[in-house]
Amino acid sequence: MYKNLSNCFLLMLLLGVAPSAYTATIDESIRFITSSSEYVEIRNSDLVLLDLRYATTNNFTGQNLYGNFDHAFLHKEAADKLARAASNLHAVQPDYRLVIFDALRPRSVQYQLWNVVKDTGKQKYVANPKGGSIHNFGFAVDLSIVDGKGKELDMGTPFDDFTDLAQPRLEKKYVSLGKLTQQQLQNRLLLRKVMQDAGFIQLPIEWWHFDALSRVEVKKNYSIVE
């Protein structure tokens, strides 16, 4: 048995064929997520609005990466924190809501995203599917805030604007240069405060991205959703 297996690998090497990793289809990913009790669906409510950009063509790739799956899921621990963040926001601004752009992103979708950005200037903003993004574990969420009329607050850049201006770590510089207004900064700080008070961690290079646990904890204790 073992001899046959090693012979098989030897033959593959001789033929120049590398054994490839298993990649799920999107339908398989969706079946897994919806049948698992680990993941919770995030729904439209008085506190949360869904605007799942990657389930439409209204995103930087211009492609619908989720097919007809326009539902948002998170690991239940992250979902609990998101509910807390939504009520934190309601407590300070009762007519505002969190607007969700992306949540659990199966690795099958991460591969599609990776293929779009690979070898371009945007590659550094998308995690290599091999190690996985925190989105692939269901512990990351991309979001903003909408006002009482459903209009997004001005954060200085749109979602998925891959420029330095979108980076929280450079905000002080851009405020002093007059490229980020005090109001835009205040809007970002409001989002950050309600999320951080609920236990989320801000990604320093994207104002819209938050992790529910540290990347080390997630990768050590949880599994990627294929």
Q: Give residues in contact with Zn ion (CB under 5 A).
A: 142, 209
Task: Supply the minimum distance, in Å, between the C-beta of residue 121 and Zn ion.
Answer: 18
170/202 Cα distance (integer angstroms)? 13
Task: Supply the minimum distance, in Å, between the C-beta of residue 225 and Zn ion.
Answer: 15
Residue with CB nearest Zn ion? 209
**What sign results for the dihedral spanned by CA atoms 31, 26, 83, 100?**
negative
Task: Supply the minimum distance, in Å, between the C-beta of residue 108 and Zn ion.
Answer: 17
| Residue carrying structure tokens 């994207």 | 206
**Backbone phi and psi for residue 152, each to the nearest 5 degrees, phi listed first:** -65, 140
Residue (69 or 200) nearer to Zn ion, CB: 200
Task: Supply the minimum distance, in Å, between the C-beta of residue 209 and Zn ion.
Answer: 4
Task: Supply the minimum distance, in Å, between the C-beta of residue 185 and Zn ion.
Answer: 21
DSSP collapsed to 3 states, 30-69: HHHHHHCCCEEEECCCCCEEECCHHHCCCCCCCCCCCCCC
Residue 146 DSSP code = E
Residue (123 or 181) nearer to Zn ion, CB: 123
Q: Are 68 and 32 in contact (CB under 8 A)?
A: no
| CB atoms near residue 30 (< 10 Å) | 20
Residue (64 or 144) nearer to Zn ion, CB: 144
Would strands 201-202 and 209-211 be described as parallel, antiparallel, or unpaired? Answer: antiparallel
Residue (18 or 114) nearer to Zn ion, CB: 114
Q: Are 55 and 64 in contact (CB under 8 A)?
A: yes
Residue type, 135: H
Task: Supply the minimum distance, in Å, between the C-beta of residue 135 and Zn ion.
Answer: 6
Residue (51 or 142) nearer to Zn ion, CB: 142
Residue (77 or 175) nearer to Zn ion, CB: 77
